[in-house]
Amino acid sequence: MYATLHVNREPGIARVTLDNPPVNVLGVALMTDLHDLLTALHDDDEIRVIVFDSADPEFFIAHVDMTVTPDSLAGLAASAPEGVNVFQAVGELLRHQPQVTIVKLAGKARGGGAEFVAAADMAFAAIGHAGLGQVEALMGIVPGGGGTQYLAGRVGRNRALEVVLGADLFDAETAERYGWINRALPADELDAFVDRLARNIAALPAGVIEAAKRAIVPADPGEGLLREHDAWAGLIGRPAAARLIGGGLAHGAQTREGERDLEGLLRHLPA
């Protein structure tokens, strides 16, 4: 049913594996599939937990596809709710799922990938393998998919500024200490831990999950998302952004080798 997702169901749980080679960029196809899947699951009373992982052990979601254009996004933009842009719409859809959403992070998630992680209800990451980063500043822009709002809500303003402006890749243990993720776990324990948690939640008595999600509501970032979009839109059209994004692509961004140290690649582009 989906070009970039593998979906497996077991009692109470949907397991969603992201698979968009070569590095799982968040492009039109993946955003469309995520929108369609989450919409389809929204009213599915048989599914109580959604677990996301990646078919690629190195990359969960690399970042937003650096080659997308306004024309290629037009279809998604037309279906985006009022007050959010096409990238923010993905995070807001995820944040408002009635099911519990869990990210199992075994690889890197930057930019839109890190925003997706922060939009989920819970996230667990593999020590020594997982990495999180908001790399947008090195492209001459700021996060534009909800990241500024979700991140500040999780780690506080001071650390959010460190993440956004420092533009480094954070390891799982630091991300846990900051509150960006729930826990950092040894890589060989990640699958078993998340599986046990997902099955325990799915087995709860009827009504408990719904009641908990009604009581522990996500913050409303409505005005913040508008400010974020204005900040992003004010930078994306500038020559610096075009030079840095184009230079990044020319020197290996969105290839496996280039994405292993995307921060270093972008910091050392030729003038």
128-155 tens-digit pLDDT = 999 999 999 999 999 999 999 999 999 9
State the Cα–Cα distance between residues 132 and 124, nearest whole angstrom: 12
What mean pLDDT, rounded, does the chain reach?
97
Task: Enter the tokens of residue 172.
Answer: 């799982």
Q: How far is CA 190 from the centre of its chain?
A: 18
Residue closest to 148 by CA, chosen among 216, 77, 221: 221
Dihedral sign of CA atoms 22, 103, 101, 198 in order: positive
Instruction: For residues 236 and 139, give the distance between their C-alpha atoms in angstroms, rounded to a whole number.
Output: 9
| pLDDT in the model for residue 118 | 98
Tokens of 246: 């184009």
pLDDT of amino acid 1: 86
Q: What is 5-202's CATH topology? A: 2-enoyl-CoA Hydratase; Chain A, domain 1 (3.90.226)
pLDDT at 91: 97
- Average pLDDT of the segment spanning 175-198: 98
| Exposed e or buried b per residue across 186-209, where buried means at least 16 C-beta atoms within 10 angstroms of its C-beta | ebeebeeebeebbeebbeeeeeeb
Query: What is the per-residue pLDDT for 2?
Result: 97
Block residue for tokens 């049913």: 1
Tokens, residue 180: 């960006």
Q: Looking at residue 130, what is its pLDDT?
A: 98
Q: What is the band of 87 on the pLDDT scale with cuts at 50, 70, 90?
A: very high
Model confidence pTM above 0.75? yes
**Count of Cβ atoms closer than 10 Å to residue 34 Cβ:** 23
Q: pLDDT digits over 3-55, tens only?
A: 999 999 999 999 999 999 999 999 999 999 999 999 999 999 999 999 999 99
Ramachandran class of 103: left when φ > 0, alpha when ψ lies in -120 to 50, beta otherwise:
beta
Rounded-to-integer distance, Cα 233 and Cα 100, Å: 32
Give the Å distances, CA to CA, from 34 to 55, 90, 92, 129, 233. Answer: 15, 8, 12, 24, 24
Q: Where would I find the H helices in the chain?
A: 28-42, 74-79, 86-95, 112-119, 147-155, 157-166, 172-178, 187-202, 208-215, 222-236, 239-250, 256-260, 262-267
Q: How far is CA 9 from CA 41, 140, 166, 173, in A?
A: 11, 41, 40, 31
Residue 271: the pLDDT is 77
How far is 15 from 9, CA to CA, in rounded Å? 6
116 within 8 A of 135, measured Cβ to Cβ: no
